[in-house]
Amino acid sequence: MQKLDHTAYLDLREGAEVLESDRNGDKVLRLSNGTMLKLFRRKRLLSSAIWAPYAQRFADNCQALHARGIDCPKVLQVYRIPGIERDAVHYDPLPGHTLRQLLDEPRDTLRAAL
């Protein structure tokens, strides 16, 4: 896991599109170069995320799926960003549409796609 200072984080996310957020902040960003940045926060003071951060688990799971021949995002880097108290995974997304994108389409278009 690479430490990313606040300035480098702001440079990385410059021009990014927020794809997912909640009341605690951004969760998934599409960066200006088309790659994705998924942010993870620790939800409880005492958590298994202390010794096994969620971002690292995401990266490890992608590697395990890839080893089994299952398509998954290609992880570029795993970051710890102390300035925003988050960990992050920077990855290349899979080609195609997300389930959310398909569900946002009109029903007739969705049925034709299926």
The CATH code of the domain at 2-113 is 3.30.200
Going by DSSP bridges, is the β-strand pair 2-3/74-81 parallel, antiparallel, or unpaired? parallel
More confident residue, 83 or 114: 83
More confident residue, 47 or 86: 86
Q: Where are the domains of the chain?
A: 2-113
What pTM does this model have?
Answer: 0.82
Tokens 């880097």 correspond to: 77
Mean pLDDT of 104-113: 69
pLDDT greater than 80 at residue 112 = no
More confident residue, 90 or 114: 90
Residue 45: per-residue pLDDT? 60
What digits encode the pLDDT tens for the residues 90-101? Answer: 999 998 877 777
What digits encode the pLDDT tens for the residues 69-78? Answer: 999 999 999 9
For residue 16, the 8-state DSSP code is P
> Which strands sit side by side in the sheet containing 74-81, from one edge to the other?
2-3, 74-81, 86-92, 36-40, 25-30, 17-22
What digits encode the pLDDT tens for the residues 21-76? Answer: 999 999 999 999 999 999 998 766 666 666 678 999 999 999 999 999 999 999 99
